[in-house]
Chain A
Amino acid sequence: MAKRWRIERRLTPAPGMTILVPLGSALLALVFGAVFFTITGQDALQVYATMFHGVFGSRYGITETIVKTIPLALSGLGLALAFRMQLWNIGGEGQIYLGAWGATWVALTFADAPAWFVLPAMALAAMVMGGFLAALAAIPRALWKTNEIITTLMLNYVAILWVDYFVYGPWRDPAGFNFPLTAPFSAAARLPALTGRIHAGLLIVLVLGIILYFVLYRTRWGFEVRVIGESEGAARYAGMNITRNIILVMLVSGAICGLTGMVEMAGVAHRLQPGFSPGYGFTAIIVAWLARLNPLAIVPVAFLFGGLQVGGYAVQVMGIPSAIVSMLLGSLLFFVLAGEALLRYRIRRITEESETR
């Protein structure tokens, strides 16, 4: 009687495992990081303690984490909607930049307008610009099946350079000592603060998360998005208009990413400058995936990522480059996705009659 291992598909995920496995996987990612720290001569526990303390040890840490959670969650929501339909919008970063540009244009042009006008106008302009950039990729995708991964990725550079041009050129603040900055926004063009640096963008994130969840699971349009994402054949069979939905979903996805740009402008930066986003649009891709494209899960996952980023700043005082955060994020994604496989398969030890030869 020989024994051997066999991998089997599970019919249904084991009970409780849908929560436990991702948590366990995240823990393993931290263990993996710890091995890395130990090899490079750091005290891993000390590193994690410093990170933890950097995030939760002070009012400042928590505030900063939430400030970073807002753009990650917001653009994560936008991307998740597109991903649901198997539209790989990698252009979140560019859409954030162009959204910020649109918001800035409104803020600079209507510098004397009251808040009730200028804030909605900024949001609208940002969404139009973000949606416009996404549409540039969506329309060829819908009509001629142009690969949207390539087009959205390339448009990122267009948008970032577009912003650079304005900030270094026509919009440069004359009173800015030649720094590449626009003039600061008027007080009316700033999102009200909830407490400290935490601004009203947090409410936008929470409300939008709930709205998107409702749209996906309770409306006819959300049903179409879910069906098209799962099976184009079935969507065609059900008489759904796939071309129109590709464009529509990309427009909304781009608009939400554009709104992220406005929220960053009006909530945090209060002026446009190059590199205002440390790659939120890219990190949001991982956020959306780790949340399994579930709008309600995106906010907590974004908070985790925001925390890791703030913790990364904290450990820099120990002489560790903040790039380790990227490494931890990468291993987190890797381990959680590997953990997914455990949910769907199980390994069993089975007995079989002895084999010869």
Chain B
Amino acid sequence: MATPLVTMHNISKSFPGVLANDRVNFELAAGEIHALLGENGSGKSTLMSILGGLYRPDQGRIYWQGNPVDLRSPRDAIRWGIGMVHQHFKLVETFTVTENIVLGDKRLPYFWRPASKERELAKLSARFGLDVDPQARIWQLSVGERQRVEIVKMLYRGCQVLILDEPTAVLTPQEANELFINLQHMKESGKSVVLITHKLDEVLAVADRVTILRAGRAVATRQRGSFSKEELAEAMVGRQLPPRPDRRRPVQDAVTLQLDNATAFGDAGQIALNNLSLQVHAGEILGIAGVAGNGQRELAEVVTGLRPLHKGTMYLAGENMTNRGVTALLNKGVSHVPEDRLGSGLVPNLDAVDNVLLRTYRHGTRPGLIDYRQARRQTEELVKAFSVQLASLGSPVKLLSGGNLQRLLLARELSAGPSLIVAVYPMRGLDIAAAEEVRRLLLRERDRGAAILLISEDLDDIFRLSDRIAVLSRGSLPVPPIAAQKANREEIGLLMMGHTEVATHG
């Protein structure tokens, strides 16, 4: 076999308390799509950040066509032809596509003519079937289009190797398919692609080769055709996948949450929720699918009292709770598992005790005072009951891993036996075991009789947990919630894309 384009040999990288990569070997051939598969926290992103020049390895070497290279910065990596598209795009919102792409290009003269660059970029993107308007401003573009801008940027810099970090996490199924077609184009013109992912279907769909990482080690590399989905899953997790939880209880009569014609504004003053009506019954999970940015955040904030309703009404167990505020809803047993755990659900610099107090500090016997002895005892109990791993009750919670943060947050939000739980992307960023634990807790709460509004962009989770499924698109539900048994993924995908009807629904 010919010398690989890129060889990463015996790479180790540690962060305080974590060995992210442990003597990993990785090869990339010219003109191949190589998937890097692993759970969250298995070291995929770290390994590729080393190749992208963002981190330097503690140990190990990188070879470019057999010659050792030293990548000290992303600029270095790009000089060798290695470009990385991160999960969070690095684009200037108010600049045009062209301006963003040429930004930082040393070859560009001080005075440059946008028109000729625009033509050059249009030609370049057409060659790979990447549809972007060079004159558009970034803020006007959808997430999928922004991703294409990032890819064109790397191609413009002359990259031979393109690293994509979880590129489909932010895309609809249709957009993801389009991306895979683009990747095939690139491969055919000789580029190499590294696809970082934890989704088995993507590997099966596009990868020529797959390397599986588990707990920082490369456990297997397989050629296309020599693996099955089950084998990959087992290699990735190191054990059989747990069976799907039993679900689909019949809907009870008791309506816990009712929204009638809800209209609310987003942060930018736009209409984020548009005349939306829905009901969540006690003992059911209503799954809200949809592409982020279609009103998910605003819906969760309205229901938890963080955002006022402009029009419409909200009832909780029959009582009108429209615009009553967070505290009133809190006292009525509304729990909230927010999107950003460390940004709003927990306070990073405070300890576990203070974080458990965050939503209960008003309920004390002594007016105005907090009983810390009692709070400490309660925290100890919760930490034990939800098996949160922490060094000590007194250390800041920002030191906890993602799974433990979520366990602590759920411990607080679920311990009081809430009547309504609003959970926004509750499994995001968790490894398989932790995500499974969160699913188990949510199902347990449902069985206890809580109404759960589950907002997620992960269709797998929506289908696994929900009793009924609705799609949030441009601030409203284009069709009423569909019973989970009758829903199918293609229809849901089309609704997420903005279609307003489906052929068959129940």
Contacts and interface: CB of A to CB of B under 8 A. Distances in A.
Given A227-B358, A350-B58, A353-B59, 9 more contacts: A11-B17, A12-B391, A218-B372, A230-B347, A231-B343, A231-B348, A233-B344, A356-B68, A357-B70
A353 B59 CA distance: 6
B221 to A, nearest CB: 22
A239 B325 contact: yes
A206 B303 CA distance: 47
Q: How large is the interface on A (under 10, 10 to 19, 20 to 34, 35 or more residues)?
A: 20 to 34
A353 B9 CA distance: 11
A154 to B, nearest CB: 30
A231 B343 CA distance: 7
24 contacts: A11-B391, A218-B372, A219-B369, A220-B368, A223-B354, A226-B350, A227-B350, A227-B354, A234-B345, A234-B347, A236-B326, A236-B344, A237-B326, A237-B336, A237-B344, A238-B326, A238-B359, A238-B361, A239-B325, A239-B327, A239-B330, A350-B58, A352-B58, A357-B70
B369 A220 contact: yes
A237 B350 CA distance: 15
A356 B70 CA distance: 7
- The 5 tightest CB contacts between A and B, nearest first, are A239-B326, A233-B344, A239-B327, A237-B344, A356-B68
Interface in A203-235: 218-221, 223, 226-227, 230-231, 233-234
A10 interface: yes
A8 B348 contact: no
A220 B362 contact: yes
Given A220-B369, A234-B347, A238-B326, A226 B395 contact: no
B370 to A, nearest CB: 6
Contacts of A233: 340, 343-344
Contact of B369 (A9, A218, A231, A234): A218
Nearest to B395: A12
B225 interface: no
A10 B59 contact: no
Interface string A235-248: 01111000000000
Interface in A1-42: 8-12
Contacts of B170: none
Contact of A220 (B57, B68, B346, B364): B364
Interface in B329-360: 330, 336, 338, 340, 343-350, 354, 357-359
B368 A221 contact: yes
B94 to A, nearest CB: 21
Interface string B288-307: 00000000000000000110
Contact of A353 (B61, B338, B343, B347): B61
A355 B359 CA distance: 53
B493 interface: no
A345 to B, nearest CB: 10
Nearest to B72: A355
B130 to A, nearest CB: 33
Contacts of A12: 391, 395, 399
